[in-house]
Amino acid sequence: MDAFSDSGELYAIRFQFYTHQHNKVKAYSLDEFSPENQLKVFEFQIRSTIALEQDASQMIEDGKLKFPGNEELFQLLQAWNDLKDFGTDDSTYFEDLKVAKFELQAILTSLYLIKFEKDSDQSINFLTLYIDNMKSPQKLNEIEVFLVLIQLYFVTGNFKAATSIFRTLNSFPDFARDNIIYQIIESWYKSIKNGNENITNAYYFYDEILNNNYNDEDYRGKVENLNRLLVLTLQLKHIPEAQEILKQIQSIIEENKEISEDTISSGAGTTMSVQKGDMIANQIALDRLVNFGKETSTLLEQLRKVNREHELLKDEEKKNEIFDKIVAKYQTV
């Protein structure tokens, strides 16, 4: 039996990990799982700890003793953990890596290239090289690498390449597509492809995820998915519902003092700054739909303080540059 199938023992923890219920993931005891699945569970738990911006160093050291013979995995996880503390990989692990040997190495290196090197092209090339070197049966069990790649294509506006990846995944057998990773990819693709039916299907997917009884401690995951639901609601132009979802996000952020001006004072990079930035960006979209942008200038200033690297700010800068060029071209000398 496939451990990740809906009747397998890893089904729940994988669902929780990819829907950002990281405290639930951390709460499991390894004894709840069969020996052959415990390493994968422990990997999820370390990654969840780092995603929560907590230090996983002791867990990694413990893992080396519990699971001998997996030095490459724990070396990778330690390098990823160090980025949280130091902002750069002190060992130059990721800078020195030219070709990935296994999936998680490909994924985390590509994320490093995006977050710290700001190099989307190199990140895409790194993932593409890994996928090109994969054997066909391997691809059926390593879908997360496609999740990262298709997201990069969406962010960079390469929808043709994203469509190609989605078609490749659609050619996989049903069992390979019957998991939360594929469903997330499908929801992204449908929402980008547009059309009322596609957006509605994506909406119900995230609505179902949010009905999955999030722990109070996993409020960050709830905010993450509420932001996605808000985008889809705005696409559907369901304005009253969008306003209610926005109020819900604001309420969760207000209730959790960890999400505060102190924790996001760096202006970018932390989970809280990204999520609050997304909320403000969605608030700007709503303001433009409902109030003709009356509050947009104020909201843009708030966004700069929270996450100065947000994609919306980059888009606004490009629009201003184009406008300035047009004005300069037709300005009377």
pLDDT at 4: 55
Same-domain pairing of 184 and 250: no
pLDDT tens for each residue of 247-262: 999 999 888 865 444 4
- The answer to whether residue 205 sits within a structural domain is no
- The answer to whether residue 242 sits within a structural domain is yes
Residue where one domain finishes, among candidates 76, 96, 116 = 96
Same-domain pairing of 179 and 115: yes
pLDDT at 139: 84
Task: Pick 275 or 23 by higher pLDDT.
Answer: 23
- The answer to whether residue 198 sits within a structural domain is no
Q: Which of 217, 62, 228 is nearest to 151 (CA)?
A: 228
**Domain count of the fold of the chain:** 3
| Torsion angles phi and psi, residue 261, rounded to 5 | -65, -30
Same-domain pairing of 232 and 333: yes
- The answer to whether residue 231 sits within a structural domain is yes
Sign of CA dihedral 24, 76, 104, 9: negative
Task: Pick 311 or 41 by higher pLDDT.
Answer: 41
pLDDT tens for each residue of 126-172: 999 999 999 878 888 899 999 999 999 998 989 999 999 999 999 99
Q: How high does pLDDT run on average in the chain?
A: 88
Same-domain pairing of 43 and 142: no
In single-letter form, the type of residue at position 96 comes to D
Do the Cβ atoms of 221 and 181 come closer than 8 Å?
no
- The answer to whether residue 145 sits within a structural domain is yes
> For the domain that residue 173 is a member of, what is the CATH number?
1.25.40
Same-domain pairing of 51 and 21: yes
Model's pTM, two decimal places?
A: 0.86
- The answer to whether residue 30 sits within a structural domain is yes
Residue where one domain finishes, among candidates 96, 127, 157 = 96
Arithmetic mean of pLDDT, 261-271? 47
pLDDT at 268: 42
Same-domain pairing of 92 and 112: no
In single-letter form, the type of residue at position 12 comes to A
User: Helix or strand or coil: residue 118?
Assistant: coil
Residue where one domain finishes, among candidates 158, 193, 228 = 193
Q: What is the DSSP code (8-state) at residue 258? A: T
- The answer to whether residue 199 sits within a structural domain is no
Same-domain pairing of 318 and 224: yes
CA dihedral 301, 310, 79, 66 (to 10 degrees): 100
Same-domain pairing of 181 and 64: no
Residue 208 has pLDDT above 90, yes or no: yes
- The answer to whether residue 202 sits within a structural domain is no
Residue 142: C-alpha distances to residues 12, 137, 240 (Å) = 18, 9, 40
Do the Cβ atoms of 148 and 110 come closer than 8 Å?
yes
Portion of the chain with pLDDT greater than 90, in percent? 67
Could you tell me how many helices (H) and strands (E) the chain has, helices first? 19, 0
Residue 110 has pLDDT above 90, yes or no: yes
Lowest-confidence pick of 50-59, 92-101, 174-183: 174-183
Distance between start and end Cα atoms, the chain: 76
Domain with 154, as residue range(s), is 104-193
Residue 103 tokens read as 């999936």
